[in-house]
């Protein structure tokens, strides 16, 4: 094949340009620390990277959620413990009022003390975390608990309709039961699934953050018609103490029921603790997932520095050699040697 | 006997030849860097005469006959074919790279990140549903998302505009200029050739322009020997634009775009559906119509000169028109009959002239029909008495005015009945009048297989329907589909709690509330589209999308009466469905296991339709078919956060279960909607346009160009991946073509390029030849000197 001067120059130019492009590309890899700069360079890795990034961001969201919820549960646990402490004190006061107070005045003093502690329990049950009431269940905006004129506890979901927690009316109890059961689910990365074709959430696929104070303080009545709610029990106890002479057997019954209620608070605290432990485990799992995802992202998108620098050095060398060759082949022709 | 001084002539001619070759070498060296220059050489012959009675002939030296170029035409053909493919791939890559700047989010933050941001704010809001500040964050994030989608749409639209502008304002004018330049060069070359010279540099220039032209359009270059004057022929260059396939006569559809120095021009236009077209208009006076007319006349002349009484019948002239311009002329003659010496001659010449290049134009038919064919004559006894003469009668239908039909015209007796005037209008001469049968300009719709025009059209017009190429339209539609789905899903979820909402997530005819009045009832839409074209347009709802039946109303009590008031048809489900199938409103694939062939329309009921809940609906009075609303087509650029949400007239409906202030079930629905799969159905823009006319609702499932199952993230990531893959593939294609073009370029250069080493050697070679010739002259001089000055001096 005949080789012409411009052909040599043109081919040399093409080769030199390729070498320069390669060097530029390797330089970009080193500078950006990325294996590929565009999707087109490696479509399958890019598709994988998009997926990993999305998962990573979602996991970060879940971690943020779980942290917030852990704080809420810590707060709830702390308030519940406070209520438990008060309940223990009330239990002691009740025993002393039954057994140790011989005079009407001393019983009245106990009655006043227990009444004050009742207020404290209600205040603690209305505690807030941020803008939200902790023990309102699904109700976070409105004060969930209040005392009626007679000193009995009421619960509300909307701040307008308050229901006596020990109201014997089955309809009211049904409503209170629905309040107690009302849940607030959040997405913690458990899949968030719905029953096919419906908007009914599969509960295992999300986490219920609703904490209803009704479960802590109790609602409804025993078979004997005695309130199970400790605040109402305290109120009944105070009313009885204010009667002279009081019905000691009745007071004992109230105290017994109160003790059972106080035990329920402990169960409630244990339940919150269990959920808190679950949240901590979840956080650990999510942290691990995030770490693994970020590792994968690095593997997928980022360069192996040693390899990238080696590539860059090699392409620089190749480019320099191409320049040297050019100097050799382009400078002379037969004409230079003619006499 | 050779003349004494003839040797001097030999030496002088050798000097001249060597000098010429040296000059040519100099020319080659001088033009080593001239673009398109082809290596030249002086063609040298040995000069000799032949005299029969001589025993031997000594030549008279050498002579330069001409200066020629060293060029391989086969390589030119290969180069032009390949450069056309390269031009197409190059343009496609350019446009895809522009799109890459919009869609490639691998190294920049973009729509996918913003989607995640919306998700994050929704997650935060789900924990604090009672806190307005968190909803504001969702709103802000959603607003950014819509603005980002608007921006993407705007950028894609800019890519379309730039591609169109580049085609219309740069490429097409450039090609037209090239056609003119090549035509002008052809003229100059013909003139130079007429004078007997070889304008080599003009050949080079023309070849360069032809190579450049080939990068825009696929061409074939032919040289036709044409007689300009008696005894003087030139090679006239014709350039054909290659077109797919053949016409109904088996002739190539290629279009002659340059014939010598006459060429037409290309024009670009955008049709009503937004599709870009390129047409070619032939120059007046040099069209295939001219040739057709000439051939027709020649045929008639030939027949007449053979003393045939010509009768033409079943002659059909078809002209394909486009916008009243004749795009081609087909002359299809079923048979000719002629009578000579009283004997009927059947001439089944099946003469056909066809120059059709395109079947797309509207066909207007022109027929010439012999009214009375020759027929057998019988005498009074019933015996055969020969044939009657053929009478020559024509029907003509001028194509320019269909109402101007004239019958019973007598066959023309003029020797050249067909003619064409200076405007290109064709006439046929009958005895009564001269009828125009076409108007002038020939405008053709074109298809381009390769070249940058093909690349531009592909990028501008292809929507990725099925397996076809994914042009700009694909990405526009992806964004539109994304925007629509976003609005539909989120508006659906937010309105799910609204009693009898027409916006629920599962939007079927069942839960559609026909009493809904968009003018008075306010839907809690989170997203709307700015400047919607129609108030009835349900924001976020793709009308006609899934259930075309939904958009049609059928009156079950419908009855049709004839003129006497008797019912001619009553409502019948089978007939209704048949009607819908026939209209293409319902595709027969919607019937489980039933095809239109096996379907018994008399028994089928609406309940047989799968995928549709239509029992509660009434359907099908053909006259009452109406389209719900005309949807806008550029959703992505119009998507915005609804004014109501923006002004806090309504907000996110946190719960649809009647929960308390902390209930967040609907927010979870939205979180789920962002993560879960949806069916993204994309439609071709033509579809959206075609339903704009309620009288002609061309709605078939085929108009849905693709369907994607996945989440919002996946949908967009997939779009990005599709683009990445396309770029990857096209770069590979481009590289392949580049390598091939470089190889051919190398081969061309190898044949036609200048090599300095070689030219250096030529310098020495021709210089030595020159020196030798000079030495010959000196030798001859010395020899003669001996004779003249030294002879006869013996003994002196």
Find where tokens 């950028």 sit: B155
Residues 119-148 of A with CB under 8 A from B: 130-132, 136-142
Nearest chain B Cα distance for residue A150, angstroms: 27
CA atoms of B741 and B681, how far apart (whole Å):
41
Please choose, from the candidates B276, B253, B274, the residue with its C-alpha nearest in 3D space to the C-alpha of residue B266: B276
Contact criterion met (CB < 8 Å) for A64 and B660: no
CA atoms of B674 and A58, how far apart (whole Å):
11
Nearest by CB to A131, which of B123, B131, B669? B131
CA atoms of B309 and A177, how far apart (whole Å):
111
Average pLDDT taken over every residue of chain A: 91
Query: In this structure, what DSSP letter does residue A336 have?
Result: G
Distances (CA, A) of B294 to B81, B427, B562: 33, 12, 58
Contact B75, B745 (CB under 8 A): no
- Give the bridge partners for B427, in sequence order: B419, B436
The pLDDT confidence band at residue A260, using thresholds 50, 70 and 90, is very high
Q: Where are the beta strands (DSSP E) in B481-587?
A: 527-529, 559-561, 567-570
Contact criterion met (CB < 8 Å) for B130 and A47: no
The predicted pLDDT at position B574 comes to 55
Q: How many CB pairs under 8 A join A and B?
A: 195
Closest residue on chain B to A14 (Cα): B742
Contact B138, B125 (CB under 8 A): yes
Residues 279-308 of A with CB under 8 A from B: 301
pLDDT at A9 over 60: yes
Nearest chain A Cα distance for residue B72, angstroms: 13
Nearest chain A Cα distance for residue B17, angstroms: 22
CA atoms of B93 and B111, how far apart (whole Å):
23
The predicted pLDDT at position B91 comes to 95
Quickly list DSSP for B624-652: G---S----S-HHHHEEE-HHHHTTSS--
The predicted pLDDT at position B282 comes to 64
Interface test with A, best of B114, B660, B735 (most A CBs within 10 A): B660
pLDDT at A107 over 80: yes
Nearest chain A Cα distance for residue B755, angstroms: 4
The alpha carbon of residue B637 and the mean position of all alpha carbons in its chain are separated, in whole angstroms, by 28
The predicted pLDDT at position B611 comes to 42
Closest residue on chain A to B742 (Cα): A11
Contact A33, B711 (CB under 8 A): no
Contact criterion met (CB < 8 Å) for B713 and A50: yes
Residue A28 burial class via C-beta count within 10 angstroms: exposed 0-12, middle 13-18, buried 19 and up: middle
Q: Give CA angle at B420 (B414, B426), nearest 5°.
A: 95
The predicted pLDDT at position B578 comes to 58
Contact criterion met (CB < 8 Å) for B665 and A335: no
Nearest chain A Cα distance for residue B127, angstroms: 7
Please choose, from the candidates A145, A10, A57, the residue with its C-alpha nearest in 3D space to the C-alpha of residue B116: A57
Closest residue on chain A to B35 (Cα): A6
Nearest chain B Cα distance for residue A329, angstroms: 13
Nearest chain A Cα distance for residue B489, angstroms: 13
Contact criterion met (CB < 8 Å) for B104 and A139: no
Interface test with B, best of A1, A22, A38, A71 (most B CBs within 10 A): A38
Task: Provide the 10 A C-beta neighbour count for residue B226.
Answer: 15
Interface test with B, best of A37, A199, A201 (most B CBs within 10 A): A199
Find where tokens 């919002």 sit: B712
Q: Where are the beta strands (DSSP E) in chain A?
A: 128-129, 132-133, 145-147, 153-156, 162-164, 185-186, 207-208
- Give the bridge partners for B387, in sequence order: B376
Distances (CA, A) of B227 to A23, B194, B236, B238: 59, 10, 9, 15
CA atoms of B206 and B180, how far apart (whole Å):
11
Nearest by CB to A184, which of B664, B731, B750? B664
The predicted pLDDT at position B209 comes to 95
A13 or B622, which is more confident: A13
Digit-coded pLDDT (tens) for A22-43: 999 999 999 989 999 899 999 9
Contact criterion met (CB < 8 Å) for A49 and B106: yes
The predicted pLDDT at position B332 comes to 37
The pLDDT confidence band at residue A147, using thresholds 50, 70 and 90, is very high
Contact criterion met (CB < 8 Å) for B107 and A37: yes
- Residues in A closer than 8 angstroms to B116, CB to CB, are 53-54, 57-58
Nearest chain A Cα distance for residue B718, angstroms: 7
Nearest by CB to B100, which of A40, A201, A333? A40
Residue B617 burial class via C-beta count within 10 angstroms: exposed 0-12, middle 13-18, buried 19 and up: buried
Residue A297: CA count within 13 A, CB half-sphere: 16
Q: What three-state secondary structure class fits B741?
A: helix
Q: Does A5 touch chain B (CB under 8 A)?
A: yes
Please choose, from the candidates B523, B554, B760, the residue with its C-alpha nearest in 3D space to the C-alpha of residue B653: B523
Q: Does A10 touch chain B (CB under 8 A)?
A: yes
B/e letters for A255-271, b = 16+ CB within 10 Å, e = fewer, are: bebbbebbebbeebbee
Q: Does A76 touch chain B (CB under 8 A)?
A: no
- Residues in A closer than 8 angstroms to B129, CB to CB, are 140
- Please report the ipTM that was assigned to this predicted complex: 0.90
Residue B131 burial class via C-beta count within 10 angstroms: exposed 0-12, middle 13-18, buried 19 and up: middle
The predicted pLDDT at position B698 comes to 37
Closest residue on chain B to A143 (Cα): B661
CA atoms of B162 and B443, how far apart (whole Å):
26
Contact criterion met (CB < 8 Å) for B763 and A43: no
Dihedral over Cα of B504, B505, B511, B513: its sign: positive
Contact A115, A151 (CB under 8 A): yes
Q: What is the dihedral of CA B237, B238, B241, B242, to 10 degrees?
A: -100
CA atoms of B665 and A138, how far apart (whole Å):
11
Contact B643, B528 (CB under 8 A): yes
CA atoms of B646 and B636, how far apart (whole Å):
19
Q: What is the dihedral of CA B551, B552, B557, B560, to 10 degrees?
A: 160
The predicted pLDDT at position B532 comes to 46
Digit-coded pLDDT (tens) for A171-188: 999 999 999 999 999 999
Nearest by CB to A338, which of B129, B725, B764? B764
- Residues in A closer than 8 angstroms to B37, CB to CB, are none
The radius of gyration of chain B's CA atoms, rounded to the nearest angstrom, is 39
Nearest chain A Cα distance for residue B754, angstroms: 6
The predicted pLDDT at position B542 comes to 29
Contact criterion met (CB < 8 Å) for A199 and B665: yes
Nearest by CB to A50, which of B112, B505, B727? B112
The predicted pLDDT at position A172 comes to 92
CA atoms of B621 and B503, how far apart (whole Å):
27
Closest residue on chain A to B39 (Cα): A4
Task: Provide the 10 A C-beta neighbour count for residue B794.
Answer: 6
Host H or E run for residue B221:
strand B219-229
CA atoms of B148 and A62, how far apart (whole Å):
25
- Give the bridge partners for B206, in sequence order: none
Host H or E run for residue B314:
strand B309-322
B/e letters for A152-170, b = 16+ CB within 10 Å, e = fewer, are: bbbbbbeeeebbbbbbeee
Please choose, from the candidates B86, B732, B30, B747, the residue with its C-alpha nearest in 3D space to the C-alpha of residue B454: B86
- Residues in B closer than 8 angstroms to A34, CB to CB, are 107
Please choose, from the candidates B721, B711, B634, the residue with its C-alpha nearest in 3D space to the C-alpha of residue B679: B711
Low-confidence ranges of chain B (pLDDT < 70): 1, 51-54, 228-229, 246-252, 272-273, 282-378, 382, 384-445, 465-468, 496-523, 530-633, 658, 683-705, 793-796
């Amino acid at each position: 094949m005949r080789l012409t001067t411009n052909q040599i120059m043109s081919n040399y130019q093409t080769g030199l340009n390729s070498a320069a492009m390669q060097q530029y590309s390797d330089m970009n890899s080193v500078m950006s620390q990325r294996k590929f700069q565009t999707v087109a360079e490696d479509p399958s890795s890019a598709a994988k990277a998009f997926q990993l990034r999305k998962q990573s961001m979602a996991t970060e969201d879940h971690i943020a959620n779980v942290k917030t919820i852990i704080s809420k549960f810590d707060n709830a646990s702390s308030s519940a413990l406070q209520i438990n402490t008060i309940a223990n004190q009330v239990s002691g006061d009740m025993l002393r009022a039954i057994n140790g107070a011989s005079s009407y005045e001393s019983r009245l003093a106990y009655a006043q003390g227990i009444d004050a502690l009742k207020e404290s329990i209600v205040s603690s049950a209305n505690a807030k975390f941020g803008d939200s009431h902790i023990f309102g269940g699904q109700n976070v905006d409105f004060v969930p608990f209040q005392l009626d004129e007679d000193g009995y506890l009421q619960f509300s979901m909307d701040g307008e309709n308050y229901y006596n927690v020990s109201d014997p009316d089955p309809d009211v109890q049904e409503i209170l039961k629905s309040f107690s059961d009302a849940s607030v689910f959040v997405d913690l990365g458990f899949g968030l699934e719905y029953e096919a074709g419906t908007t009914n959430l599969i509960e295992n696929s999300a986490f219920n953050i609703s904490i209803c104070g009704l479960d802590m303080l109790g609602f409804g009545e025993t078979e004997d018609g005695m309130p199970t709610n400790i605040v109402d029990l305290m109120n009944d106890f105070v009313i009885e103490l204010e009667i002279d002479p009081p019905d000691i057997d009745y007071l004992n019954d109230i105290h017994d029921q109160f003790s059972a209620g106080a035990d329920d608070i402990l169960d409630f605290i244990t339940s919150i603790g269990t959920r808190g432990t679950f949240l901590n485990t979840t956080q650990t799992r999510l942290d691990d997932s995030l770490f693994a995802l970020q590792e994968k992202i690095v593997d997928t998108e980022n360069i192996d520095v040693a390899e990238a620098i080696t590539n860059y050095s090699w392409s620089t060398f190749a480019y320099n050699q191409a320049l040297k060759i050019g100097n050799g082949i382009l400078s002379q022709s037969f004409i230079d040697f003619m006499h | 006997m050779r003349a004494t001084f003839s040797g001097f002539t030999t030496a002088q001619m050798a000097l001249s030849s060597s000098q010429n070759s040296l000059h040519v070498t100099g020319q080659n060296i001088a033009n080593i860097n001239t673009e398109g220059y082809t290596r030249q050489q002086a063609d040298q012959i040995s000069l000799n005469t032949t005299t029969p009675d001589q025993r031997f002939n000594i030549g008279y030296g050498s002579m330069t006959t001409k200066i020629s170029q060293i060029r391989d035409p086969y390589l030119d053909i290969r180069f032009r074919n390949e450069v056309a493919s390269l031009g197409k791939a190059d343009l496609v890559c350019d446009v895809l790279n522009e799109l890459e700047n919009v869609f490639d989010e691998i190294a920049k933050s973009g729509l996918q990140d913003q989607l995640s941001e919306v998700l994050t704010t929704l997650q935060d809001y789900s924990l604090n549903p009672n806190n307005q500040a968190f909803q504001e964050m969702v709103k802000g994030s959603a607003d950014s998302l819509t603005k980002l989608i608007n921006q993407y749409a705007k950028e894609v639209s800019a890519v379309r505009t730039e591609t169109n502008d580049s085609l219309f304002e740069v490429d097409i004018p450039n090609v037209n200029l090239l056609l003119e330049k090549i035509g002008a060069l052809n003229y100059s070359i013909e003139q130079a050739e007429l004078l007997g010279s070889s304008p080599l540099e003009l050949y080079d220039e023309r070849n360069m322009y032809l190579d450049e032209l080939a990068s825009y359009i696929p061409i074939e270059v032919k040289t036709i020997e044409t007689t300009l004057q008696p005894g003087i022929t030139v090679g006239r260059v014709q350039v054909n634009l290659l077109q797919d396939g053949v016409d109904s006569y088996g002739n190539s559809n290629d279009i002659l775009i340059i014939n010598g120095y006459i060429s037409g021009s290309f024009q670009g236009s955008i049709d009503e559906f937004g599709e870009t077209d390129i047409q070619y208009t032939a120059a007046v006076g040099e069209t295939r119509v001219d040739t057709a007319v000439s051939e027709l006349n020649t045929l008639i002349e030939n027949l007449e000169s053979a003393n045939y009484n010509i009768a033409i019948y079943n002659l059909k002239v078809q002209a394909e028109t486009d916008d009243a311009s004749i795009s081609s002329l087909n002359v299809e003659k079923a048979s000719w009959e002629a009578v000579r010496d009283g004997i009927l001659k059947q001439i089944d010449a099946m003469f056909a002239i066809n120059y059709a290049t395109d079947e797309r134009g509207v066909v207007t038919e022109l027929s010439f029909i012999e009214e009375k064919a020759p027929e057998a004559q019988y005498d009074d006894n019933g015996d055969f008495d020969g044939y009657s003469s053929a009478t020559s009668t024509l029907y003509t239908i001028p194509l320019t005015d269909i109402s101007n039909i004239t019958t019973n015209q007598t066959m023309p007796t003029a020797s050249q009945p067909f003619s064409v005037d200076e405007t290109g209008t064709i006439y046929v001469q009958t005895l009564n009048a001269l009828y125009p049968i076409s108007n002038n300009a020939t405008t053709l719709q074109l298809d381009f297989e390769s070249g940058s025009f093909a690349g531009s059209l592909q990028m501008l017009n292809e929507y990725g329907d099925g397996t076809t190429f994914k042009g700009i339209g694909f990405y526009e539609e992806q964004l539109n589909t994304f925007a629509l789905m976003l609005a539909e899903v989120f508006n659906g979820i937010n309105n799910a709690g609204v009693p009898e909402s027409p916006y629920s997530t599962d939007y079927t005819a069942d839960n559609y509330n026909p009493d809904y009045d968009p003018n008075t009832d306010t839907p809690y839409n989170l997203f709307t589209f700015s400047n919607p074209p129609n108030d009835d347009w349900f924001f976020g709802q793709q009308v006609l999308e899934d259930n075309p039946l939904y958009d049609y109303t059928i009156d079950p009590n419908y009855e049709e009466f004839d003129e006497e008031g008797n019912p001619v048809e009553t409502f019948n489900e089978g007939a209704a469905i048949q009607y819908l199938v026939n209209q293409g409103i319902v595709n027969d694939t919607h019937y489980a296991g039933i095809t239109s062939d096996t379907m018994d329309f008399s028994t089928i009921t609406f309940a047989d339709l799968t995928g549709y809940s239509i029992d509660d609906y009434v359907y099908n009075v053909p006259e009452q078919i109406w389209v719900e609303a005309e949807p806008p087509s550029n959703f992505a650029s119009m998507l915005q956060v609804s004014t109501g949400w923006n002004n806090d007239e309504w907000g996110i409906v946190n719960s649809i279960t009647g929960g308390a202030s902390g209930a967040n079930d609907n927010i979870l629905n939205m979180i789920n909607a962002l993560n879960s799969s949806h069916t993204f159905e994309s439609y071709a823009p033509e579809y959206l346009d075609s339903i704009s006319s309620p009288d002609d609702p061309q709605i078939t499932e085929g108009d849905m160009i693709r369907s994607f199952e996945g989440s919002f993230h996946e949908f967009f990531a997939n779009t990005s991946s599709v683009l990445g893959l396309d770029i990857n593939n096209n770069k590979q294609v481009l590289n392949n073509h580049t390598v091939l073009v470089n190889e051919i370029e190398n081969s061309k250069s190898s044949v036609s390029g200048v090599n300095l080493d070689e030219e250096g050697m030529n310098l020495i070679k021709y210089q030595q030849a020159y020196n030798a010739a000079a030495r010959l002259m000196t030798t001859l001089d010395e020899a003669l000197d001996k004779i003249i000055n030294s002879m006869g001096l013996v003994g002196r």
